Every structure is written in C-alpha cells, then in structure tokens.
Structure 1
Amino acid sequence: MYEQWIAMEQFYYGYFAWGLLVVIILSILLVSCLYYVNLLIPKIILILTLIAFTIFGVGVVRGYSQYGDLIEQASKESAAIRNFKRTFFMIDMPYQAMEMKAYRDGYFDEGFEAVDFYEKMFVSEPVEYLGATQQGGYVFRIGGSEYVVSQAWVRFSDEVNQAVRIGTQYQVADPRFIELGFVEKSRVLLDEYIVPSQAENHMADKAGVTAAQLQARGIVKGWVVP
C-alpha cells in the first residue's frame, strides 16, 4: 500500500501536473501561430503538440486506471489525518496550527474511513454510573468529574457487569506513512455508554446531579464527543 501511494502521488502531483502544463503551453503557442501555419516553426509546434497530447493522454489513461481509487482517497484528505496538503508539482502546503487543532480535537472520522491504510480499533474504558436524572439524562463519573449524558448515548445491556464507554480509534497500519505527514493515530471518538441492565432504574442523588456538568461537544477526558 505504501509503495502504491508513493507511485500515485508521483503520477498525479508530478507527471500529470507537469504534463498538463506542457500541453497547455504548447497549445497556447500553437494558437498564436495559426496565422503562420505554412511556416516551418508553426509546423514543428503542431507536431510537438500532437506528440505531447498523445503521450500525455496515454499516460493519464494508464495512470487513472491504475491509481484512480487512490487519487479519490487522496482528494478526501484533511488536517484531521495529515500535516499538509500535497498539491500539483509535489508542493506541500502545511495546514495552519489552528486548523489542525480544530480537526484533531473534533469528531472527524471521514478522513480516516476514506483511506485504506488506517486500522479501525474499538476502545473500552470503565466509567462509574451514578444514575438517571429527573429530566431523562444519565450521570457518569469519568476521571473524577461528573457529566450528564443524554439518552442518545446510553444503552443498557446484560452483556456488561460494569458501566463502560465505547469509542473508535484509528491507527496507521504502516508507520512509513508517518514520514509522509500522516498522523499516527486519532483521538478516541465516542460511540456510546453501556450500562448494566440491573442499574436501569437507579436514580442519581441530587448532589451528584447538581455537581455534574452537561457532556457537550468537544473533549471529555481525552475522548471526542460529537
């Protein structure tokens, strides 16, 4: 996969970009010489343009047939997964620090899902369930702090004996991609809380509810909440 990605970038950002530039320049020269088509130089330019078009066209067809899927994946890169945006002529445009922070502290799993070299892992972490609130939320103690979580993120199950939070994390499969500016791993993205079924009717005490803060979009004890 790594070698294929390198070859794709060399084709798309190198060969394709330079080839397109040459074809455009020759086309402009050819158009500017149309009134002198009977002279030698315009004829030479015409021949060179036709040759360039042929070579470029054949190369593009072959390249896209071989790397089309990887080019599509590369088009979905963002600051969430890479430190810079690679552009034509193999020029790397670094993302701004604020942009990278916003992406990497946010719930952006699309970039990791779009490319084939990130492995998807499921992470489980024990949390303390304090009970339900009168308003229909659920209170958890995570890392020493209390949070009120909406019903949408909580599931009761007989499969667990202790409350846990479940998340997804992406890690690069081949460490050589890190040398290309890709991040080694994502933050853990929250999927849900699972609570033992026997605790479903347990109500949180008023003191716990009062002290709890609403789980909002952002980072909650190292995990990203959408």
Structure 2
Amino acid sequence: MKMAAAGFVAILAICLALAPSFSYAYDDAPLQDFCVAVPDASAAVFVNGKICKNPKQVTSDDFVGTGFNIPVDTNNSLGSAFKLVDVNVVPGLNTLGLSLLRVDFAPGGVIPPHTHPRATEAVVVIEGTIYAGFVTSNPADNTKNRLYAKILKPGDIFVFPIGLVHFLRNVGKTKAMGIVAFNSQNPGTITIANAVFGTEPLISPEVLTKSFQLDKKVIESLQSKF
C-alpha cells in the first residue's frame, strides 16, 4: 500500500513538473532584454527563432519598421491583401512573441477561413466595416460547432482564440483596413481551402468525396482551383 502511494506521489510530481510545458502554447519568455535577429539562412545550426546579434552591435534601427502606413494592393481574386511586420522586417522582434499585420480590403474583400496554430490574434478595425468571426472546436456532445461573429466598425477590436478557424470580410461599400497583432513571432497560417484542396500531391478525391459528401467531379473542380 505504501509503495502504491509512493508511486502515485512520484507520478503526480512528474505531471506537475511537466504541466507548464503542456499549458504554455505561446512563445517562451525571453531570458534577456532583447535578442535582435541576424540573417541566418546559411547558418549551420537551426534554432527555434533567430540567432541573436551581439548586443554591442545592436542599434535603434533594429527596432524600427517603416511603410506600415502604405495601403496594400487588393486587386486579386480575394479582394484583400496584407503587409506583415515580423522578425524579418524588424529584427528586434526576435524572441519577444509578437508580430503584426496590416490588412487591406476592397469592397466585398475577404480573408478566407484559416487558423493560426501558434498564436491568438486580435484585430483592430481602422477603416470601413468588417464582418469577423471564429468557430469553436468540435463539441464533445456531437452538437454543431458554434460561430461567434460580429460586424465591426472603426475602433472595434475582435479576438480570435489560438488555433480556431476564423475569417474576415469587408461588408461595407468602401475600402476597409485593420491592424492585426499576434502573440507569436511566427504564428503560422493554415488556410482551410488550400490545405484541403491545394496540397502537393493532392489528397485522394475518394477521401474528400466521402468527407464532404460531394460528387467526385465537384471535388476535382475544387482541386483545380487551388
């Protein structure tokens, strides 16, 4: 009985010790004031982030980005485009757990359903009227996934929880623009349509016809578009 109790205590101690690594889904806290990134495409060692510049060589310019005020060309099939500010644009962002987007929309423009596996996202509407929403993960009771959505106007903020499918659309008659912040320097993006219909090589149509309950010709047509 004592051995069983001792074993339980040991297992509990291990679980408690590992708990932080399971629960912290965002970027690790830095261990120094900053870690300005250096170009490391040809580096012999891969690190989770970027290699740090010698602090003695850091300048104020390492923490500055420009051009975020310039609109992005939205003349494309989605009617939207974005400008990313990440560690490759502002090296001083390295290890700080932050990246930003400027998103521009033509009237009717859309950011299609997608997810960010490594970051929570917050969007601030600066101009226009944007419909934004996210969908919950599959409920345990087999009920339908729930949609949380809102029409946003300038000054409104909407938060997309980490990993959940979400979207944005300009529902106004004029252009729209928002600023997005991620709590990761590399949030990652999985666009649902591209991930399902535009892989290389393609997912077997038989898998998708069964999954989406669609005719094979419809699946093949969708795959040809992505």
User: How high is the TM-score relative to the length of structure 1?
Assistant: 0.19
- Higher alpha-carbon Rg: 1
User: How high is the TM-score relative to the length of structure 2?
Assistant: 0.19
Looking at secondary structure, tell me which structure has more helix per residue.
1
